[in-house]
Amino acid sequence: MKKSFLLGATALLAVGAQAQTINYTALQDAFGQPVTTSATGKPQVASDAPAALRIITGAEIKASGLDNLPDILNRYSGMDLLRWGSGSADVAVRGYNQGSYPRLLVLVNGRQVYNDHFAMVVWNTIPVQLPEIKQIEIVKGPVGAIYGFNAVAGVVNIITVNPLYDETGTATLRGGTDGKREANMVKTLKLGERVGVKLSAGYKEQDEFEKGPITALERSRLTSPEANYVSLSGLTQVTDTIQWGVELSRSYSFQANYNTTNSYLGIKYVAESAKTDLTIDAGSLGLVSLMAYRNKMDFDYLAFGASDVTTTVVQLADLLQVGSDHTLKFTAEYRRAEMGRWPSPGANIGYDVYAGSTMWDWKVSDNVSFTNAVRLDMFSLDYSGPIAPPWRQTDYDRDMTKISYNSGLVYKPDAISTWRATFGMANQLPSLLELGGYYIVGAIPTVGNPRIDPSRITSFEVGYDRTVEAINGRLGITAYRQHTKDLKTFTGGVADRMVINGVLSQTMVNAGNSSSWGLEADINGALAGGLSYSASYTWTQIDDDLTVNRGARATRPIKFEDATPEHKLRGGLGWSQGGFSADLGLTWQSDRYLLRPGTGTLAGSQVPTKVGSFVTGTATAAYTFSTGTELRATASDFLRSSTATTASLETERRLYVSLSQSF
């Protein structure tokens, strides 16, 4: 692209977040702060976007001293972490967290990394090393009209350094208590003026947590997690107006996961991906981008069953500037997901989705902008192979059409403050396992349900952001109201058996509705002497209206009303002077109740188990030598030897030292 075009300071068009070919460093320099294109396709600071959006910079990630994405995301308002083990975690936006959390869409450079078998994110398989992350964009609330199915709680968009614009070279060794060993490397290389390549690789392992009220069977399934990764990408400036990029990656992970039925299973994952994108500055016809990728994941739930899931996506988009006040984006997308039936092989299930969307951003005046987006998804389910009771082939011959909306009104009364009002409606597509890819042979079959309906999430929110010169910082407040219709739940116990096509069975069902209120308040900034600070408060109130678990004994693994902590406080303090730097992060959250499988007379039930309020903390200190060598010491969960943050394994204090070299 032409440099002036990519700067976005004199032109409004930029490549959208679905195809990362813009120069984020140049944009940040032009705007004076991190810039996003996720909401409208054009570059804007987070406070001006028509969405509740937070940008985490690469500098913030490094300063935290943390070594994994879930813990990094948990430092910010509206986020909720369930740390099931040293390698297993679920991250939620605005509540409703659970094992194998299915409501968050996670992208790496526009490619989804959540997996369609459970519609979950296996964080330990994401083939990205922390030093290669340029920024992470957290978009809160349903944004289905922009991102499609499953962008119902929000989106985490991970953007890595661009080998055509960024020069990065770093190698890190990390070791510590509890068997902590890690090594990673990232290097970008320019091949002339028009070609850039990036290679990253990593390996890590550590001991599993030990303490916690889990069953002997679950304990036998625990394994100390280990993972390795490699990714290779390249970007070519074919002509002044055409860019072409390629990304390849592979990761392996062996860990104990906490699954949808609230118990542990040892699992091996092998994830592979291939992606290509082409971006063309077509002048008056707009900025045209074509992206295609394929994800394949082999998963082996040890002693339970193995299968694989493949997802193919092709997307064509055109971002068009009409006059000085109107930006349009048109997108067409094809999506194919398929997997072998699990854990009993012999059949395949899949679906096709054809989608089209339109976004219109209107600069009404110098102080007001109005953004609207609508998306139409046409879904078709298919099944091949032997049909197992209780379902028939006709049950899998299913088509449906769903519409998603997003609207946002932004008002800037002056140069330092912004008001925002948004509405969103998105659809949560059932996973392949929920739709019928799950089948356990038995006198009473346990099966997926091709008749299950998508959940529909609607949200209204208002927000206010303001620069506060007196504290050299920024204040942000967001309040929202959200409603979920047709919640989905996994298979239940004896009390939830159903007669389907004349066969007594256990299956997934729609489980009623749920509503929530929320408030998120943030303040952050910098002081004299190299000090920085941050603080946030999150309030979440959930009210369920379920058609399951209404008696004294819960039989299905779903109940959100008391599962989300109502209050959460976070605070951070950083310091940097010369080669020295330090960071302290503290989090307090109120109590919650998480479901656990019952034992003895409660076998077959899900028992609400209290997790009391707690405080956790992370501290890190580092010194960077003039040679580019950094020595860092980090203590995670340092306030006590172990902390009951869930109703299963307790998190443990971990100490580790990192040695990094820039080159």
* DSSP class of 339: E
**Res. 81 pLDDT band, cuts 50 70 90:** very high
The encoded tokens of residue 446 equal 């346990």
The encoded tokens of residue 344 equal 């009993």
Q: Which domain holds residue 637?
A: 3-662
Give pLDDT tens digits for 225-259: 999 999 999 999 999 999 999 999 999 999 999 99
394 exposure class (CB count in 10 Å sphere: 0-12, 13-18, 19+): exposed
Give the number of other CB atoms < 10 A from CB of residue 612.
10
Give the number of other CB atoms < 10 A from CB of residue 284.
7
Whether the per-residue pLDDT at 566 is higher than 70: the answer is yes
Question: Residue 441 has what pLDDT?
Answer: 85
Give pLDDT tens digits for 335-367: 999 999 999 889 999 999 999 999 999 999 999
What pTM did the predictor assign?
0.94
Give pLDDT tens digits for 303-329: 889 999 999 999 999 999 999 999 999
Question: Residue 59 has what pLDDT?
Answer: 95
Question: Residue 44 has what pLDDT?
Answer: 85
Contact 183/175 with Cβ under 8 angstroms? Answer: no
Which neighbouring-strand residues pair with 133? 160
Pairing of strands 438-440, 342-343: parallel
Give pLDDT tens digits for 496-544: 899 999 999 999 999 999 999 999 999 999 999 999 999 999 999 999 9
Give pLDDT tens digits for 133-146: 999 999 999 999 99
Whether the per-residue pLDDT at 13 is higher than 80: the answer is no
Whether the per-residue pLDDT at 15 is higher than 70: the answer is no
Average pLDDT over the chain, rounded to whole? 93
Q: How many domains in the chain?
A: 1
How much is the average pLDDT of 42-48?
Answer: 84
Whether the per-residue pLDDT at 41 is higher than 90: the answer is no
Question: Residue 120 has what pLDDT?
Answer: 94
**Res. 495 pLDDT band, cuts 50 70 90:** confident
- CA torsion through residues 510, 352, 21, 410, sign: negative
Q: How many Å apart are CA 227 and CA 107, to the nearest integer?
A: 20
Share of the chain above pLDDT 70, in %: 97
CATH number at residue 566: 2.40.170.20
Question: Residue 551 has what pLDDT?
Answer: 81
Share of the chain above pLDDT 90, in %: 87
How much is the average pLDDT of 163-186?
Answer: 97
Give pLDDT tens digits for 569-593: 999 999 999 999 999 999 999 999 9
Question: Residue 40 has what pLDDT?
Answer: 82
Question: Residue 2 has what pLDDT?
Answer: 35
Q: What are phi and psi of 29, to 5 degrees?
A: -65, -40
Question: Residue 17 has what pLDDT?
Answer: 35
* DSSP class of 115: B
455 exposure class (CB count in 10 Å sphere: 0-12, 13-18, 19+): buried
192: which residues sit within 8 A by CB, 6+ positions away?
none
Higher pLDDT, 119 or 3: 119
Question: Residue 21 has what pLDDT?
Answer: 60
Whether the per-residue pLDDT at 633 is higher than 60: the answer is yes
* DSSP class of 39: T
**Res. 30 pLDDT band, cuts 50 70 90:** confident
Question: Residue 29 has what pLDDT?
Answer: 80
365 exposure class (CB count in 10 Å sphere: 0-12, 13-18, 19+): exposed
Question: Residue 1 has what pLDDT?
Answer: 38
